[in-house]
Structure formats: structure tokens, C-alpha cells
A and B are shown apart, each in its own frame.
Chain A
Amino acid sequence: DSGVTQTPKHLITATGQRVTLRCSPRSGDLSVYWYQQSLDQGLQFLIQYYNGEERAKGNILERFSAQQFPDLHSELNLSSLELGDSALYFCASSVDSPSTDTQYFGPGTRLTVL
């Protein structure tokens, strides 16, 4: 158990819908990262927050948005869902920068868009 929690574990929805994925980082970690892993693919970095502020942005679609709240939990919002958005979404956390601190990954949320 990495100490990073993600809810829900599984999510099934229809095209055009909007969903919210939630992540609670390890105690003491200020950075939260979101990744997308499509079937049998590597991880695609989406976005990073540090202590409530956006720090880095990767290949995140405009239909996707995220935020980190004062209690440091984070939410990833996916809207106007398409079939291609079906994937495993990982949240990770670290104390500060991943170059100096280990990223701990949550168990992921599997999103299925029908």
C-alpha cells in the first residue's frame, strides 16, 4: 500500500458524460500528479499540482481539468467523454519535486466509456 488513495476504483459511463476522479496523497506530500494509461500503453503525464498551484502540464486535453484543494486532495475532471478516454488513470504524490523525491502511485481508477 503506497498511502495514496484513489476513488472510485472503477467507473463506467457513456460518451458525452462528465466524471470526477479523486485522489488523496500520502500524508505530508505536497505534490500530486495525474497520469493516463491507455490499454497496453505507457503512462502519459497529464498534470501536476504543488500545494494547490499548478506546476507542470503535460498532454492534457482541454476537456480535462484538475485542481488541488487546501487539504491537498486533488480531483481530475473529465468532460464530454469519448470512447478513447477509456483508460486507467493514476494519481501519484511526492513530498516536492519528483527529481528529488520518490513518486508514490495510487491503485488507479479504471474508466470505461461506452
Chain B
Amino acid sequence: AQTVTQSQPEMSVQEAETVTLSCTYDTSENNYYLFWYKQPPSRQMILVIRQEAYKQQNATENRFSVNFQKAAKSFSLKISDSQLGDTAMYFCAFIQTTSGTYKYIFGTGTRLKVLA
């Protein structure tokens, strides 16, 4: 069965510094999609970044980038120049579609606190 593991329940980082959140997953399939979602105190879920498993190039969105290691089944999120507004829960998510069957699996989250 597919699983998503976020081994860091909580992290903190100084404003303007860089932080990396880890995520590992397990699947026997070859085609899937990985996402990082941010959930601030408002509880709204916001897409941060996505990565298609068939793409070797790591996705980047402004200050957010991923390190996708397909063989190691690792998908970490790097936040550069951390800002106070980055304080939130971050969820790693895995979506797989196989022969019309869809699986959506989220990790348990990493609570990130950006310190002034």
C-alpha cells in the first residue's frame, strides 16, 4: 500500500534563513504526482508546489523548491528566505492514477514556525 511519511512533526527557522522539510513515500508504481500543501492557522489548504514523477527536473516556485529523488522515494521541500507568513503546517501529498483508479494520500504534516 502507498504511504507518505513526514518524519519531522515540528521545525523552526529564523526569518530569512533556509529550511528543508522532508517527505518520503512508498509505492510500486511508476507514474504518480507529488505535492506540498501549506495550511496556515486559518486552516485553508494552499498548494505550494507540485512535481510529476516522470520529470527529472526539480520543481521551483519562487522561494519554494523541491529535491525529488525518485529512486530514494524522497520529496523534500526547501523554503529559502523564510518569512513570518510561512508559519504553517506543511503536508506532503501523493496522488496516483492507475488504470482509472485514483489514490490520494497525505502525510501527517510538519508544523513550521518562522521566528522573528
Q: Which residues of A contact B (CB under 8 A)?
A: 2, 33, 35, 40-45, 48, 55-56, 58, 88, 90, 92, 97-99, 102-105, 107-108
Complex interface: stretch among B65-73, B80-88, B99-107: B99-107
Contact check, A97 vs B97: say whether CB atoms are below 8 A apart. Answer: yes
Instruction: Give chain B's interface residue range (CB within 8 Å of chain A).
Output: 20 to 34
**Shortest beta-carbon contacts, A-B, top 3:** A105-B45, A56-B102, A45-B104
Query: Interface on chain B toward A: helix, strand, loop, or mixed SS?
Result: strand
Contact check, B33 vs A42: say whether CB atoms are below 8 A apart. Answer: no
Contact A56/B104 with A43-B91, A98-B33, A98-B95 known, Cβ cut-off 8 Å: yes
Q: Which residue of B lies closest to A33 (CB)?
A: B104
- Taking CB atoms, residues of chain A closer than 8 Å to B104 are 33, 45, 48, 56, 58, 98
Q: Chain A nearest CB: distance from B47 CB in Å? A: 5
- Taking CB atoms, residues of chain A closer than 8 Å to B43 are 88, 107-108
- Taking CB atoms, residues of chain B closer than 8 Å to A90 are 45
A-B contact pairs, 19 of them (CB 8 A): A2-B44, A43-B91, A45-B104, A45-B105, A48-B104, A55-B102, A56-B101, A56-B102, A56-B103, A58-B104, A97-B97, A97-B102, A98-B33, A99-B33, A99-B95, A99-B97, A102-B50, A105-B46, A108-B43
